[in-house]
Amino acid sequence: MDLRIQKTYMALTSTFFELLEEKRFEDITVNELCKRAMVRRATFYKHFGDKYEFFTFFIREIQEEFDREIADSPDINTPIDFYINIVHRVMRFMKEKDKLLQSLLKSDCLPALLRILSEQVEFDILQKLKTDAENGHKLIADPEVMAHFFTGAILETLQWWLTQKKPLPQERIEEQILSMMRAVYMSVNVG
């Protein structure tokens, strides 16, 4: 990708993070985003149809960063390590971007965010499950069913936790999610 395009995307993405920490998605205008990022509106519209298309790009950029971190991680030797790593990284992101998440929870775009996030996480888990099956790991169901199940369970639990104003400490919710994932994985691959 052209260096100028990369710089434009980085400027828009970092500015969008800032704006989302200040206000709801629907209150952000393309004019405001471009002005603060010092990107011409014409340049924005050359790459994105509207702010919703940019929002999809924004979420995918976050997911790609997660994917790069996980791929570079030395501690994913077993399938369960992969899932543990995902949960750790999601929880770390949530802690680091709490203002952003609180803003998104108040936004009408939350269902769209969750749908985009869900599709991407499910795709990543599905690819890992297929690889696990090819490497001889026993699965309790078809990879597609398991990927959908795990994605739904993880994201619904995290959404509940966030919307209920974090009724449990972050370490405890993370520990419980991982405990349930280990129990499911171990019950299949030990027995």
Q: What is the pLDDT of residue 61?
A: 85
**Separation of alpha carbons 78 and 12, rounded Å:** 37
Q: What is the pLDDT of residue 75?
A: 63
**Separation of alpha carbons 121 and 128, rounded Å:** 11
What three-state secondary structure class fits 66? helix
Q: What is the pLDDT of residue 34?
A: 97
Predicted confidence band of residue 105 (pLDDT cuts 50, 70, 90): confident
Domain 56-190 matching CATH 1.10.357.10: the answer reads: yes
DSSP class per residue in 98-166: HHHHHHHHTSTTHHHHHHHHHHHHHHHHHHHHHHHHHTT---SS-HHHHHHHHHHHHHHHHHHHHHTT-
CA distances from 2 to 8, 112, 135 (A): 10, 29, 38
Predicted confidence band of residue 76 (pLDDT cuts 50, 70, 90): low
What's the whole-number average pLDDT of the chain? Answer: 83
Each residue's pLDDT tens digit, 107-151? 887 787 777 778 877 887 888 889 888 988 888 889 999 889 888
Higher pLDDT, 176 or 184: 176
Q: What is the pLDDT of residue 32?
A: 97
Domain ranges of the chain: 56-190
